[in-house]
Amino acid sequence: MGDADPGDCERPFNRPAAVTTPTSSPALRLDGVSKSFRRETGESVLALDHISFSVDRGGLAALVGPDGAGKTTLIRLLTGLLKAESGVVTVLGIDAAKDPQAIQSRISYMPQQFGLYDDLTVFENLNLYADLHGVTSENRRTQYARLMEMTGLEPFQKRLAGKLSGGMKQKLGLACTLVRSPELLLLDEPTVGVDPLSRRELWEIIRKLVKEGMTVLISSSFLDEAEACEHVLVLNEGKKLAEGPPAEVSGLALGRTFLAQPPDGMKPRDFQARLLAEPDIVDAVPESGQVRLVSQAGRGSGTGIFGGVAAQPTPARFEDGFMVLLQQSGGAKPIDAKTLQPEEPLGGSRNESVVEVHDLDRRFGKFVAVDHASFNVKRGEIFGLLGPNGAGKTTTFRMLCGLLPPSGGTLTVAGVDVRRASASARQHLGYVAQKFSLYGQLSVGDNLAFFARAYGLGGEKKSERIAWALSQFKLEPFVRLPSAHLPGGFKQRLAMAASLLHRPEILFLDEPTSGADPFARREFWQRITALAAGGVTVIVTTHFMEEAEYCDRAAILDNGKLLAQGTPAELRARAPSEEGRTPTMEDAFIAIVLEARGKPAGKSGENPS
C-alpha cells in the first residue's frame, strides 16, 4: 500500500487539462501491440494483432468494429488494466506497462457496464467519484451544476441509479467520469442499447467536451457514429482494417454508391435480395423506401443501371466504405435471399391475422412494463418492435410466446388464446431468445437433434429437417463442434436453425442483430426475407432503427408504451423532412418520442387550465 501518489488531479473543470506534458506528444499511442486470451478450452485467441494507432491531444477518435473485434481489449490496455504481450502502450506520455497507476489517476474511463452503483443515488454516485478523484468542495459546486445542466439529471439527484432509465444511466455514467476534467476520456460502447434520442444527446455532450480541449476515444458498433469523429480505427477480429479520417474509409466506396427505387409493387427487401444476387454489386441495403447499393470497383461509375432499374448516385457513407473493406479482407459478400434454398410455402391466407394483441398490459409491482398495447400481424408479414432497452419489447415477446402471463388484455396467436392454451399455441411458434440459449456442451448436430425431438419430430422427417437446417444455415462444417465454441454469428444461426426445425408458422426473434457486424446483419435479414416469402410470419425486436426498413410494418415502443405503428413509409412520414435529405427511421423515432413526451399524460391533452 506504500505506493506514492504521482499524478494528482485537483484541477478546475474549465481549465484545459493538458499542462503537465508537451502538447506535441500524442495523447495515446500503441506500437505493434498484441494481446491474446486463453479460452476455457485451452485454445488461444488473438484479440489484438500488432495494432499501431495514435490519437493527438484534443482529438476525437472512434474505435469501430463488430463484436469480438478487440475494441474493449484495446481500451483496457490503454487504462493499464490489461498488459500487452508485445508492443508498447503509451498514454499521456506514460508507459502503461510501467506505471499504470499514473495513467489511472489522470484519465477517465467509462466501461461498457457504466460502473454505477445501483443502490446509491445519483448524487451519491457522483460524490463517490468526486471523492476518489479528490475534487474539492468549491470545484464540486460549479462542476455539479454544469454536469446537471449538461445531462438533465437535476430532477433525479435523489433517485437510486438502479431506478434510472437506460439513457439516464448512461448519462450518469458519463457524468461520473467528468467530476473533474480528465486529460483523456475513454468511453467503451457508451451508446449500445440506448434510445436514439439519448444517443443524440450524448454525442452533443461529447462534442462540447472536445471543443473545450479534451481528448476523447469512443468505441462503437454503430458505424454512423464514426463519421462524427476526426480519426477512426476500424478493427475486425483483432486486425486493423483501416485507420485515418472517416472520409478516407467512406472514400473507398467513392463513386460506387447509388440509391435505386424498387420497381412498382416490389418490396425494398425483395429488391435488395435481387440486387445482392448480382455479381457486380458489393452491398445493398434498404434505406428510406429505396435500396442503397455499392457497386463493384471495376464497374464504370457512369452506368447507373442495376437490376434493370436506373439508380441515382449518392454520396458514400462510412458504412459503404466499411463493407468494401470487409469484402477486401474477407472476399465474401452477404448471402442473398434468392439463392437460399426455397422451402415449400406454408398454406393459409395472406390476409388473415395470425397475431392479435388487444390492450395488452403487464405490470411488475408498481412498474408498468407494457402499457395497454394493441397491434396485429398478418400471415407472412415481417413485424418489427422498435425501441431502446427497457422499452418493453422482451416482455411483450414473452407474453406472446406464453412464457409470461399478461396482467390484462387479450392475446391470440395462430388462432389460439395464449392465456388459456399456451402449450398448443407454442407448437406453431419458434422463439429465438436474446441470449444464446442452446446447450453449449452439446455439438451443433446434437443440439439440432435434441430440439427436433423436443418438437416431436422423428424418423425420416427429423433427419430431413436437420439436413435442411445444416445446409440452409451453412452449419455443415461445424456438426461435431460443441456449440459453445462456435463463432458469435454462427451461434445465432444455430439458434435460428433450431427454432425453425418444426416449421413454425410464426417466428419470434428477440434482438437477433444486437452486436452483430453489418455483414452478419445483412445475411440475417436475407434469411428472414426468404422465410417471409415462404409464408412464415416473423416478429422481430431491434434497437437498430434502420432495420425497420426490412419490415412490412413496425411498432415503436418507449417506456412500455406503443407510441406508433405502421409501414416504414408511414412512420417516416411522422418525421419533419429536412431539406436535402429524406428523413430516416431514426429521425422518425425521435420525432414520435418527443411528440409523446411533450404532450400531457391524458389523451385529450388540450384542456385549458
Partner 1 sequence: MKSWSEKLRRIRALTLKETRQILRDPSSIAIGVVFPLMMILLFGYGLSLDITRVSVAMVDEDASSESAALIGAFRLSPYFGVTVVHSMAEAKKLVQNRKADGALLIPSDFSRRWHSGDAEIQILVNGTDPNQARIMQGYAQGPIAQWGAAHAGSSSSFPAGPVVVVDRMWFNENNDSHYFLVPGLIVLVMTIIGAFLTAMVVAREWERGTLEALFVTPMRAGEFLVSKFLPYFGLGMVGFLLCLLAGHFLFHVPLRGSLFLLSLASMTYLVVALGIGLLVSTLVKSQFLASQLAMLLTFLPAMMLSGFLYDLRSMPAFIRGITYALPARYAVALMQTLYLAGDVGSVIWLNLGILAAMAAALLAATRLATRKQLT
The region of 4-12, 327-335, 410-418, 549-557 touching partner 1 under the rule CB under 8 A is 4-12
Locate 141 and state its grid cell: 459546486
**Contacting residue, 12, 32, 115, 315, with partner 1 by CB under 8 A:** 115
C-alpha 218/C-alpha 75 separation (Å) is 9
Task: Write b or e for each residue in 401-413: b if 16 or more Cβ atoms lie within 10 A of its Cβ, otherwise e.
Answer: bbebebeebebbb
If the CB atoms of residues 174 and 229 are measured against partner 1, the closer one turns out to be: 174
Relative to beta strand 429-432, strand 506-509 is parallel
Locate 490 and state its grid cell: 454462427
Give the number of other Cβ atoms within 10 Å of residue 560's Cβ.
22
215-to-18, 240, 326, 571 alpha-carbon distances in Å: 9, 21, 29, 38
If the CB atoms of residues 111 and 388 are measured against partner 1, the closer one turns out to be: 111
Q: Does 407 bind partner 1 (CB under 8 A)?
A: no
C-alpha 127: how far from chain center: 31
**Contacting residue, 21, 34, 127, 329, with partner 1 by CB under 8 A:** 127
CA angle 281, 285, 286 (to 5 degrees): 135
The region of 45-53, 125-133, 303-311, 414-422 touching partner 1 under the rule CB under 8 A is 125-133
Q: What is the pattern of x (binds partner 1, CB under 8 A) and - over residues 180-199?
A: ------x-------------
Q: Does 389 bind partner 1 (CB under 8 A)?
A: no
Q: Does 105 bind partner 1 (CB under 8 A)?
A: yes
C-alpha 238/C-alpha 311 separation (Å) is 36
C-alpha 193/C-alpha 176 separation (Å) is 19
If the CB atoms of residues 129 and 589 are measured against partner 1, the closer one turns out to be: 129
Q: Does 109 bind partner 1 (CB under 8 A)?
A: yes
If the CB atoms of residues 21 and 127 are measured against partner 1, the closer one turns out to be: 127
C-alpha 345: how far from chain center: 32
Query: In the complex, what is the shortest distance from the CB of residue 505 to partner 1, in angstroms, rounded to a whole number?
Result: 39
Q: Does 111 bind partner 1 (CB under 8 A)?
A: yes
C-alpha 216/C-alpha 184 separation (Å) is 6
Q: Does 515 bind partner 1 (CB under 8 A)?
A: no
Instruction: Count each helix (H run) and each strand (E run) in the chain, helices first.
Output: 18, 25
Q: What is the pattern of x (binds partner 1, CB under 8 A) and - over residues 340-379?
A: ----------------------------------------
Give the number of other Cβ atoms within 10 Å of residue 513's Cβ.
20
C-alpha 157/C-alpha 125 separation (Å) is 10
Q: What is the pattern of x (binds partner 1, CB under 8 A) and - over residues 275-304?
A: ------------------------------
**Contacting residue, 25, 36, 54, 112, with partner 1 by CB under 8 A:** 112
Query: In the complex, what is the shortest distance from the CB of residue 596 to partner 1, in angstroms, rounded to a whole number?
Result: 32
Query: In the complex, what is the shortest distance from the CB of residue 3 to partner 1, in angstroms, rounded to a whole number?
Result: 6
Q: Could you tell me where the beta strands, DSSP code E, fall in 16-140?
A: 28-38, 44-55, 60-64, 86-91, 94-95, 107-110
- The residue type found at 259 is L
Site for partner 1 in 201-260 (CB under 8 A): none
- The residue type found at 393 is K
Query: In the complex, what is the shortest distance from the CB of residue 84 to partner 1, in angstroms, rounded to a whole number?
Result: 13
Nearest to 430 by CA among 533, 537, 355, 346: 537
Q: Does 85 bind partner 1 (CB under 8 A)?
A: no
**Contacting residue, 133, 231, 522, 553, with partner 1 by CB under 8 A:** 133
If the CB atoms of residues 133 and 362 are measured against partner 1, the closer one turns out to be: 133
**Contacting residue, 54, 101, 314, 407, with partner 1 by CB under 8 A:** 101
List 442's β-bridge partners, or say none: none
Q: What is the pattern of x (binds partner 1, CB under 8 A) and - over residues 532-571?
A: ----------------------------------------
List 286's β-bridge partners, or say none: 291
First to last CA, the chain: 64
Q: Does 410 bind partner 1 (CB under 8 A)?
A: no
Locate 567 and state its grid cell: 409501414
Nearest to 31 by CA among 95, 102, 116, 106: 95
Are the CB atoms for 103 and 79 separated by under 8 Å? yes
Are the CB atoms for 535 and 347 separated by under 8 Å? yes
Q: Does 157 bind partner 1 (CB under 8 A)?
A: no
The region of 99-107, 143-151, 480-488, 575-583 touching partner 1 under the rule CB under 8 A is 99-107
Query: In the complex, what is the shortest distance from the CB of residue 201 to partner 1, in angstroms, rounded to a whole number?
Result: 21
Relative to beta strand 553-558, strand 382-386 is parallel
Query: In the complex, what is the shortest distance from the CB of residue 89 to partner 1, in angstroms, rounded to a whole number?
Result: 14
557: left (phi over 0), alpha (psi -120 to 50) or beta: beta
Q: Does 108 bind partner 1 (CB under 8 A)?
A: yes
- Applying CB under 8 A, the site for partner 1 has a residue count of 41
The crossing angle, in degrees rounded to 10, of helices 122-133 and 166-177 is: 20
The region of 1-9, 17-25, 350-358, 417-425 touching partner 1 under the rule CB under 8 A is 1-9
**Contacting residue, 116, 416, 444, 593, with partner 1 by CB under 8 A:** 116
If the CB atoms of residues 119 and 154 are measured against partner 1, the closer one turns out to be: 119
Query: In the complex, what is the shortest distance from the CB of residue 36 to partner 1, in angstroms, rounded to a whole number?
Result: 12
DSSP string, 571-602: HHTTSPPPTTS---HHHHHHHHHHHHHHS-SS
If the CB atoms of residues 96 and 401 are measured against partner 1, the closer one turns out to be: 96
Query: In the complex, what is the shortest distance from the CB of residue 79 to partner 1, in angstroms, rounded to a whole number?
Result: 5
The region of 98-106, 196-204, 228-236, 378-386 touching partner 1 under the rule CB under 8 A is 98-106
Q: Does 92 bind partner 1 (CB under 8 A)?
A: no
Site for partner 1 in 22-81 (CB under 8 A): 76, 79-81
- The residue type found at 455 is Y
- Give the footprint of partner 1 on this chain (CB under 8 A): 1, 3-5, 7-9, 76, 79-83, 100-101, 104-105, 107-117, 119-120, 124, 127-129, 131-134, 173, 176, 186
